[in-house]
Amino acid sequence: MKRWLLPEGGQFYKANLHLHTTVSDGRYTPEETKQKYRERGYSILAFTDHEVFVPHNDLSDGDFLALNAHEIAIDEFPGGGRYQRTYHLNFYAKSRETTLSPVFSESRVDCPSSIALITDEMRRYDARAEYSVASVNDLIRIGNENGFFVCYNHPVWSLQNYPDYIGLEGLWGIEVFNQSCVVEDLPDTTIPFDDLLKAGKDVFPICSDDSHWDPDYFGGWTMIRAASLDYDAVIAALLAGDFYSSTGPEIRELSIEDGTLTVRCGDAALVRIVTDWRSYKVANAAVPEREGEDFVARFDASGLAGKYRAATEPGYQNAYFRVEVKGHDGKSAYSRAFRVAEFPELLG
Ligand SMILES: [Zn+2]
Ligand SMILES: [Zn+2]
């Protein structure tokens, strides 16, 4: 039986899940931001202005969906400093009806345009946090318990390392690419993503723009496979991991049938399978071959799982694989990770 790793039904919607507008420190208004992205074929934007949570349901129409969110910063030394580490987390509202965020704290708001938008209702909350894994985990938990899900943003720009992130709990996603950080020559990598996966934490890889001003636009996006462009349907797809993220290449199908993993994509230089098995991605890389409109690479999925079939090696219980598609220009697309344990038929 064919197992679809991206849903067979629905359609892909192009999304940028991280951006800033004149609500905080972005150059363009929410309306102008929508216009810029609509002209480039995007259907979904998550408005993640700093600290203040301002819903934008008024921007949604038949061809466009606004997701409501905000970005929280927990600085190592409140008040600033170019050497300080910082946690930046996007909190996304699961319901379009949500009007307030429980992780708001007026003490963190420093942008004049945001200060002007603070209301007494927002002030009902005062979710302060200090720079520690435990304190940040409290914020994530409060968000999760109150109808939000959380993405851990741009660890490289934030000057963060393994001890800063490996203990984080309850994350939904992690940025593997952030265009604004590329502009600042602090590009993210997949290393923290794989570190969390190896620790047994199921997080999804996100490519975003984090757009503030012109050089930040159109570098990284997410292709969401959803039943419709409805708030609930798109959130359900995001929570299920029914998407891939990209800086260029296109993934059209991921499936497993009769022990074969099929990756159907657009024109690409290389498709590779990344696992926690050392050297596996070297052994499992292929140049996709043209089949009609698509380019296709196939892998022995039984072999992928076979390493674990009689595994006694430490680390077996968190075994996973994920797909990367490399473009001729070096740009990449990333699937989510799949735990080998999700495929008992391959384990024999
Ligand atoms: Zn940030
Ligand atoms: Zn940001």
pLDDT given for residue 316 in this prediction: 64
Going by C-alpha positions, the residue among 197, 140, 131 that lies closest to residue 166 is 197
- Here the tokens at position 66 are 């606004």
DSSP state of 275: E
The pTM of this model reads 0.96
If asked whether residues 199 and 57 sit together in one domain, one would say yes
If asked whether residues 129 and 257 sit together in one domain, one would say no
d(CA 103, ligand 1 centre) in Å? 16
Q: Mind listing the pLDDT tens digit for each residue in 223-252? A: 999 999 999 999 999 999 999 999 999 999
Quick one: which ligand is closest to 48's CA?
Answer: 2
Would the CA dihedral through 306, 309, 311, 316 be positive or negative?
positive
Residue 313 sits in a domain whose CATH number is 2.60.40
d(CA 25, ligand 1 centre) in Å? 11
Going by C-alpha positions, the residue among 28, 59, 23, 26 that lies closest to residue 210 is 26
* Residue 68 burial (CB count, 10 A): 24
Residue 127 sits in a domain whose CATH number is 3.20.20.140
* Residue 2 is assigned to a structural domain of this protein: no
Q: What is the CA radius of gyration of the chain?
A: 20
* Residue 3 is assigned to a structural domain of this protein: no
If asked whether residues 215 and 144 sit together in one domain, one would say yes
Q: Where a domain ends, among 212, 246, 280? A: 246
SS (H, E, C) 202-249: CCEEEEECCECCHHHCCCCEEEEEECCCCHHHHHHHHHHCCEEEECCC
If asked whether residues 314 and 273 sit together in one domain, one would say yes
Tell me how far the alpha carbon of residue 116 is from its chain's centroid. 30
CA distance readout (Å), 119 to 71, 74, 324: 18, 21, 44
Residue 292: give the domain boundaries.
251-347
- The answer to whether 170 and 134 have CB atoms below 8 angstroms apart is no
Half-sphere exposure (Cβ direction) of 292: Cα atoms closer than 13 Å: 3
- Here the tokens at position 332 are 């990449």
Mean pLDDT of the chain: 93
d(CA 154, ligand 1 centre) in Å? 7
pLDDT given for residue 280 in this prediction: 59
pLDDT given for residue 145 in this prediction: 98
d(CA 72, ligand 2 centre) in Å? 9
Q: Where a domain ends, among 246, 270, 286? A: 246
d(CA 63, ligand 2 centre) in Å? 25
How far apart, in Å, do the first and last CA atoms of the chain sit?
A: 15
* Residue 4 is assigned to a structural domain of this protein: no
If asked whether residues 131 and 152 sit together in one domain, one would say yes
d(CA 321, ligand 2 centre) in Å? 29
If asked whether residues 232 and 255 sit together in one domain, one would say no
- Here the tokens at position 222 are 């997410």
d(CA 334, ligand 1 centre) in Å? 21
d(CA 287, ligand 1 centre) in Å? 35
If asked whether residues 184 and 270 sit together in one domain, one would say no
- Here the tokens at position 181 are 């950080």
* Residue 68 is assigned to a structural domain of this protein: yes
Helices (H) and strands (E) in the chain, counts: 10, 18
- The answer to whether 136 and 89 have CB atoms below 8 angstroms apart is yes
SS (H, E, C) 79-135: CCCCCCCEEEEEEEECCCCCCCCCCCCHHHCCCHHHHCCCCCCHHHCCCCCCCCHHH
d(CA 49, ligand 2 centre) in Å? 7
Q: DSSP states of 147-183 as a string?
A: TEEEEE--TTTTT--HHHHTT--S--EEEEEEHHHHH
d(CA 3, ligand 2 centre) in Å? 36
* Residue 1 is assigned to a structural domain of this protein: no
Q: Where a domain ends, among 198, 225, 246? A: 246
* Residue 172 is assigned to a structural domain of this protein: yes
Quick one: which ligand is closest to 19's CA?
Answer: 2
Spans of the chain, pLDDT less than 50: 309-310
pLDDT given for residue 118 in this prediction: 98
* Residue 271 is assigned to a structural domain of this protein: yes
pLDDT given for residue 310 in this prediction: 46
If asked whether residues 206 and 258 sit together in one domain, one would say no
- The answer to whether 262 and 253 have CB atoms below 8 angstroms apart is yes
d(CA 18, ligand 2 centre) in Å? 6
Going by C-alpha positions, the residue among 157, 255, 135, 258 that lies closest to residue 208 is 157
* Residue 47 is assigned to a structural domain of this protein: yes
d(CA 84, ligand 1 centre) in Å? 13
If asked whether residues 92 and 50 sit together in one domain, one would say yes
If asked whether residues 138 and 194 sit together in one domain, one would say yes
d(CA 195, ligand 2 centre) in Å? 23
If asked whether residues 207 and 259 sit together in one domain, one would say no
If asked whether residues 115 and 221 sit together in one domain, one would say yes
Q: Mind listing the pLDDT tens digit for each residue in 83-117? A: 899 999 999 999 999 999 999 999 999 999 999 99
- The answer to whether 338 and 322 have CB atoms below 8 angstroms apart is yes
Half-sphere exposure (Cβ direction) of 197: Cα atoms closer than 13 Å: 23
d(CA 321, ligand 1 centre) in Å? 28
In the chain, the number of structural domains is: 2
d(CA 150, ligand 2 centre) in Å? 13
Quick one: which ligand is closest to 18's CA?
Answer: 2
